[in-house]
Amino acid sequence: MRNVPLSRICLDGESWRVFSLEREVEAPRDEHGRVLARDVDGNHLIPTVSEELYEKGFRVEWPGGRRFAVCLTHDVDWAYPPLWHVKKALEAACSRHDLGAALLWGLGSVSKWHLYNPYSLRQVAEIEAGYSATSSFFVKATPRELLDERYERYYDLEFLAGELNRLIREGWEVGLHGGYLSYNNPEALIREKAILESVLEGYKAAGVRMHYLRFTYPSTWLAVETAGFKYDTTLAFPDSPGFRNGMCYPFRPVVDGREIGILEIPLAVMDTTFWGYMRLQPQEAFGLISKIAAAVEKVGGVLTILWHNNTFNELLYGEWSRMYRRMLSHFKSRGAWLTDCLSIYEHWLSFYG
Ligand SMILES: [Zn+2]
């Protein structure tokens, strides 16, 4: 079937209600002001709108004829471990009689994480390099404020600067992890973007994901546009994997009948959803992720994954930490393009505008 541009395909009825987020206007909000999947009707595990677009002839061509894309992302909530993580790690090391791990954490702690950092971004990039993949790191640049406070004590942009600049030189992406209070405040996002870029050697942050996945329609999209970002990748449910507006294709959000000047790359899978909200075992989560990936593959879409940098620590996160490699092997065997948000953005623009 001939390729049809997304903008020429009309959505109506239920599809429009899902795509435009109309179905969640009346939904209650949780204590962080977020809409949860459990309060919105429909099957969130299926990209229903993308399926309809696919049936109507929309096709995506991925580089090298790949079947679909996997967009790998990491929200850097911790630059290094907070004290209570150190305590948990030492307890875990003792209960396993793992003297080596205990010594490493001790060395890290006394050297202020310069000699050993269990949450280092480098270890993440090294894993990805083994799969010829890159990813996006979303980094906080928020002045101390409500609910970010407990993080700020363990967050130092200067500490991360050397690592971030090296990752950028090697082809990884660095974006902004928008502050808890900044998700619909363009001035705050402009300030944070400038703070982040002040430690990045001439590099401009193209995209943003909001802390706690805080997102309000349409103010978050408008704030992201006003702040000068090229894309947002916040749209997701915190309590369920899947597709908040039925889309696994990137798209230009529509606000008051206008396609605004950013691309949304919807998020489908977040690590903390599985243990924090769904109380799943790693094996069950992997089954669910594989199902969702198959649904994305069917329509040649994008599966965006959020795996926090701290989840890579095996001592604290065990099977969840090892699952990342397992996912990458699986996606690669299915013919996916494993890449970062900016590469998706640039590819999308060159084909679809
Ligand atoms: Zn966060």
In tens, the pLDDT along 76-110 reads 999 999 889 999 999 999 999 999 999 999 999 99
Say yes or no: 45 and 165 in one domain.
yes
**46 CA to middle of ligand 1, Å?**
25
Say yes or no: 141 and 227 in one domain.
yes
Asked if residues 40 and 245 have their Cβ atoms less than 8 Å apart, the reply is: no
**138 CA to middle of ligand 1, Å?**
9
We report the CATH number of the domain holding residue 205 as 3.20.20.370
Say yes or no: 99 and 207 in one domain.
no
> What is the DSSP track for 108-141?
HHHTTTSS--TT-HHHHHHHHHTTT---EEEE--
- For residue 351, what pLDDT is reported? 81
Question: Which of 92, 116, 140 corresponds to the end of one domain?
Answer: 116
**229 CA to middle of ligand 1, Å?**
18
Question: Which two three-digit tokens encode residue 132?
Answer: 């010829």
Say yes or no: 101 and 235 in one domain.
no
Say yes or no: 160 and 286 in one domain.
yes
Domain count, the chain: 2
Asked if residues 190 and 178 have their Cβ atoms less than 8 Å apart, the reply is: no
The yes-or-no verdict on residue 2 having pLDDT over 60 is no
Q: Is the pTM of this model over 0.75?
A: yes
Question: Which of 96, 116, 136 corresponds to the end of one domain?
Answer: 116
Q: Identify the three-state secondary structure at position 280.
A: coil
**139 CA to middle of ligand 1, Å?**
9
Residue 272 phi/psi, 5-degree rounding, is: -65, -20
**54 CA to middle of ligand 1, Å?**
33
- Flag whether 1 is in a domain: no
Mean pLDDT of the chain: 93
- Average pLDDT of the residues in 240-262: 93
- Flag whether 27 is in a domain: yes
Say yes or no: 143 and 177 in one domain.
yes
Q: Which residue has the tokens 């309000």?
A: 216
Q: Which of 325, 290, 349 is nearest to 45 (CA)?
A: 290
**272 CA to middle of ligand 1, Å?**
11
> What is the DSSP track for 70-115?
EEEEEEES-SS--HHHHHHHHHHHHHTT-HHHHHHHHHHHHTTTSS
Sign of the dihedral defined by the CA atoms of residues 288, 134, 243, 276, in that order: positive
Domain that holds residue 92: 83-116
**298 CA to middle of ligand 1, Å?**
30
- For residue 273, what pLDDT is reported? 98
Say yes or no: 109 and 178 in one domain.
no
Position 168, amino acid: I
Eight-state DSSP code of residue 21: T
Q: Which residue has the tokens 């940098």?
A: 309
The yes-or-no verdict on residue 113 having pLDDT over 50 is yes
